[in-house]
Amino acid sequence: MAIRVRVKHEQQSVVPVRFVRAVTGAPVADAPDVDDRGFAMGTRADTWGESDALGAMVSLAVGDTVRVKVLREDIEAAARLYVTSTDTDLVRVVHPAGGGPLPDSGIFSIQGVADRQNEPVAVQVRYGSANGPVVGELEPHIFELVHIRLAVHLVTIDGAGTDRRSANVATTRTNVDTLVRGANAIWRPCGVRFTYADARIVEETIRRRVAPATGSEYLHRPSNTWRALPNPLGAAANFAAAGTVTTDAATYPDPNHQYDEFDTLLNINPIANAVNVYCVHAGTGWVGLSYVTNVGMAGRAGLGLAIADTASTFDLAHELGHYLGNNHADADNAGHDTDNKDVWLVRRLMYSQWPAGAPAYRNDVGYGPNQYGALISVKTLDGDYSNADGEVARSRLRARNPY
């Protein structure tokens, strides 16, 4: 059926197609979420150059081939569509061969070839042939892969340890592998990959001191001796509950000391030149906890994150997002979470509150019912909350100097 279009403004663009994730459900490394939030391209990172493309953005790593789906909004299914790249030295269309026609699924594949500063590229959907009129544009950003080392600490507090630790070494490794692999599926399109070695899966023990009975102590691994807890809890203090990092106001009414257990945990046998991830059995009111860090903090002690046994791969990816410099997507200018349930925010990996609850448009944002979204924003849109947008560029800046 023909669609009549009346252009009312000489600068009006008619775009009958959209770009979306190629899959639904859990994150997949070769099917990144597409930042399709409107047609404004927003403020660009200094090294991205100027582009006249209008529409969605997507990120991918050099050498990776990823899938993206063309969604036909206002064009009939019989229309033959082709996909082309404006610069094949930066991005190549791998499938379909010759760029088209697109299969019924609408899915095409592109490969990141090179990461070059100030050289933008566009993937264009064309009508009728590879030389036909452009009916939609996608702006990909290609990044060299940066590797960030993790050190995973399996913590026992007063006899209660994390369930991620098993008496079987292979099972422990599988538990850690599953967690890290899921986080990598989310972060790889940004050109960030987290790695760890077997030697960096270490067991930590915190216990009540035997004599004198006051205070707790931890096993100092370099010397294999028991030592009093480091600050801020210090020598005379205890962790309040077995297996738990307590951060609630009822236990610690002074807000200046509410996170003393967490800060103490981050100073127990940290491994240099790595992001230290402390796995504990439970936290009070949280499944993951970290600080937002920036490049200026590189080299400082006491930086890292904690995750509880109930934490998923989304939670680890979210906390790593904080480590890479990102606040909550819905934080206001004062840094407070607004719990805004705008679907543009709920889709974001760095959204503060989940599950978002009914109605359906909030509890399923393409990853399944009551599952986190995993969009890491490529665009930096004016008017977004605080400075939370532009997460890809911010994360890459931190990733180049992560320790």
Within a domain: 383: no
Within a domain: 300: yes
> Domain limits at 124?
17-143
* Cis preceding-peptide flag for 120 (omega within 30 of 0): no
Domain's final residue, options 143, 178, 204 = 143
Going by C-alpha positions, the residue among 169, 185, 301 that lies closest to residue 232 is 301
Whether pLDDT at 200 is above 70: yes
- Residue 203 belongs to domain with CATH number: 3.40.390
Q: What is the pLDDT of residue 358?
A: 58
- Predicted structure pTM score: 0.93
Mean pLDDT across 26-52: 89
Among 38-47, 48-57, 270-279, which range has the highest average pLDDT? 270-279
Contact present, 279 and 162 (Cβ < 8 Å):
yes
Instruction: Please indicate, yes or no, whether residues 251 and 314 belong to a single structural domain of this protein.
Output: yes
Going by C-alpha positions, the residue among 302, 299, 283, 280 that lies closest to residue 291 is 302
Going by C-alpha positions, the residue among 66, 92, 96, 91 that lies closest to residue 81 is 96
Whether pLDDT at 72 is above 90: yes
Instruction: Please indicate, yes or no, whether residues 246 and 133 belong to a single structural domain of this protein.
Output: no
Instruction: Please indicate, yes or no, whether residues 246 and 393 belong to a single structural domain of this protein.
Output: yes
Instruction: Please indicate, yes or no, whether residues 129 and 187 belong to a single structural domain of this protein.
Output: no
Domain's final residue, options 128, 143, 158 = 143
The number of folded domains in the chain is 2
Instruction: Please indicate, yes or no, whether residues 172 and 312 belong to a single structural domain of this protein.
Output: yes
Q: Which helix (H) or strand (E) holds 211?
A: none
Whether pLDDT at 225 is above 90: yes
Give per-residue pLDDT as tens, 142-163: 999 999 999 999 999 999 999 9
Instruction: Please indicate, yes or no, whether residues 393 and 267 belong to a single structural domain of this protein.
Output: yes
Instruction: Please indicate, yes or no, whether residues 277 and 222 belong to a single structural domain of this protein.
Output: yes
Give per-residue pLDDT as tens, 286-341: 999 999 998 888 778 778 999 999 999 999 999 999 999 999 988 877 767 776 77
Domain's final residue, options 87, 110, 143 = 143
Q: What is the pLDDT of residue 357?
A: 57
